[in-house]
Amino acid sequence: MRIALLGGTGDIGQGLALRFAHDTDHEVLIGSRDPEKARDAVAEYEAELESRGVEASIKGFANEMAADRADVVVLAVPPYYAGDTVEAIEEKLDGDQILVTPAVGMQGDEDGLHYHPPKAGSVTQLVANRAPDEVPVVGAFHNLAADALSNLDDDLDLDTLVVADDADAKSTVRALADEIEGLRSLDAGPLANAAEVESVTPLVINVAKYNDGMHDVGVTFR
């Protein structure tokens, strides 16, 4: 399967790129608004993988080109770019592809980070509203600390919550997540349940802020 990570030069994109390339046989495409930046990131990720004896062939493209070539398109962009990124790629998308969104709207103050969803109710729902009707949207990978994901020495031992209205798309993305070692996917229901999933992201950052010795905080469910 071909997985495109749009905004794949950012921290969550880097983490997912390294994990998919290291742990699975799927083909990873890095997308960026600037294809040159995408190719620079690819060189960096390949060097990191090579230092661990993993021969990975990652490719870098402009976001539109990456989306066009992929089976699964991950919007690893900041929340305020999520809608615009969907618009930029929508002509390249069709009903055989899956759009995945990990972004979360947050606002910070002196106390910590607070969940700040867009008017759609969640970034996941905003992406679903903006995506072409025939393209299934899946919310996943929201609550993973980027630094833990990017550090291949970290065992993760984390859960990721997956929401979607399309059952097939949800199982495809859950299977991809489960292929990352140390990551377990859990079903959190339909897209309407995305807000409760997204709001864990500011929470884990607050837990890291207030508890000595806790970094790259993530969550598991029992």
> For residues 3 and 5, what is the distance between their CA atoms, to the nearest angstrom?
6
> For residues 44 and 136, what is the distance between their CA atoms, to the nearest angstrom?
31
Q: From the CB of 42, what's the least distance to its own copies, in Å?
A: 30
> For residues 52 and 46, what is the distance between their CA atoms, to the nearest angstrom?
10
Nearer of residues 86 and 158 to its own copies, judged by Cβ: 158
**Residue 129, interface with its own copies (CB under 8 A)?**
no
**Residue 116, interface with its own copies (CB under 8 A)?**
no
Nearer of residues 25 and 221 to its own copies, judged by Cβ: 221
> For residues 83 and 136, what is the distance between their CA atoms, to the nearest angstrom?
15
Residue 59 gets the label, from left (phi > 0), alpha (psi -120 to 50) or beta, of beta
- Per rule CB under 8 A, count of chain residues that contact its own copies: 36
Q: From the CB of 48, what's the least distance to its own copies, in Å?
A: 23
Please provide residue 120's backbone torsions phi and psi, each rounded to the nearest 5 degrees. -65, -15
Write out the two tokens for 175.
Answer: 């299977």
Site for its own copies in 183-212 (CB under 8 A): 186-190, 192-193, 195-197, 199-200, 202-204, 206-207, 209-211
> For residues 69 and 106, what is the distance between their CA atoms, to the nearest angstrom?
31
Q: How far apart are the first and last CA of the chain?
A: 31
| Binder of its own copies out of 115, 133, 150, 213 (CB under 8 A) | 115
Q: From the CB of 17, what's the least distance to its own copies, in Å?
A: 22
49-52 contact pairs (CB < 8 A, 24+): 49/18, 49/21, 49/22, 52/22, 52/152
Options 9-17, 68-76, 81-89, 181-189: segment touching its own copies (CB under 8 A): 181-189
Write out the two tokens for 57.
Answer: 């062939």
Site map (CB under 8 A) of its own copies, residues 1-30, x = contact: ------------------------------
Nearer of residues 28 and 195 to its own copies, judged by Cβ: 195
Binding residues for its own copies, rule: CB under 8 A, are 109, 111-115, 157-158, 161, 186-190, 192-193, 195-197, 199-200, 202-204, 206-207, 209-211, 214, 217-222
